[in-house]
Amino acid sequence: MAVFGEADHGCEAALRIHQVVRELPLSAGQKLAVRIAFHYGPVVENDSDVFGDTVNIAARLLELASPGRAITSMETARQLSAEWRPLLRPLQARSLRGASRLTEPFELLCGGAPGDLTVVQTVDFDADEKPELRLYLGTQSLVLNAQMPSARLGRDALSDLRLSDTRASRQHAEIELRGDKFVLVDRSSNGTFVLIDGEKEFVLSREEVVLRKHGHFALGRTCIDNPHLIGFVCL
């Protein structure tokens, strides 16, 4: 593990390490290679070691790397200078072990230095993506976004969206933003009934689902003829 003051330095180190390893002679007839991952963020220092979420995420990203590759994160990509960004190739978003939200990994193309490779795909790292979810319950409404990424639903007085239906648990369900998707998580005894427009109603029982497009869901009972129906719209 190594620590750098800037994200660019992590890219420089990754390319240099791969270059040096490629130039090493065969070892017992085998070509050597290394796997690399790096992530930008704050760390906790203790003597000569560092800890924290940034270190943990880098370790999880390393699990995605194969020999000769370097993997990084969207957070790192946003910190890189313009000269490095053409060397990044987006990978499929996925859930990393121990992480509560989806991670958007990138591969750093390690076959050359900036300016040596042809750009086959570009990503606007500075795009101001603002996923938004709007909830409606009678006269109540609630908007979830990057500034308010989660909400609690149920009969509890501290719920962000509160309803009085006795079939609903006090802490019935939660909605949280993971990456660019809103996930509905059931934590109840009677389940959460979900009706996405154009699809059949289904029930969550201690499960979760990504909310798509628009529709309705109900706490503890079917959506049909339910006066406590919660509407949602994903933007």
For the chain, domain boundaries: 7-108, 133-234
pLDDT score, position 231: 96
- Whether 127 shows a pLDDT value over 70: the answer reads no
DSSP 165: -
* Domain 133-234, second-level architecture: Sandwich (2.60)
The topology under which CATH files domain 7-108 is Alpha-Beta Plaits (3.30.70)
Reported confidence tier of residue 101, pLDDT bands at 50, 70, 90: low
Give the side-chain half-sphere CA count within 13 A for 19.
10
pTM for this model (two decimals): 0.50
- Cβ-in-10-Å burial (0-12, 13-18, 19+) of 10 comes to buried
- Whether 113 shows a pLDDT value over 60: the answer reads no
Four-residue CA torsion sign, 173, 229, 232, 207: positive
Long-range contacts for 206-211 (Cβ within 8 Å, ≥24 apart)?
Answer: 208/183, 208/184, 209/183, 209/184, 210/181, 210/182, 210/183, 210/184, 211/133, 211/175, 211/181, 211/182, 211/183, 211/184
Tell me if domain 7-108 and domain 133-234 are identical in fold: no
Structural tokens at position 55: 């270190």
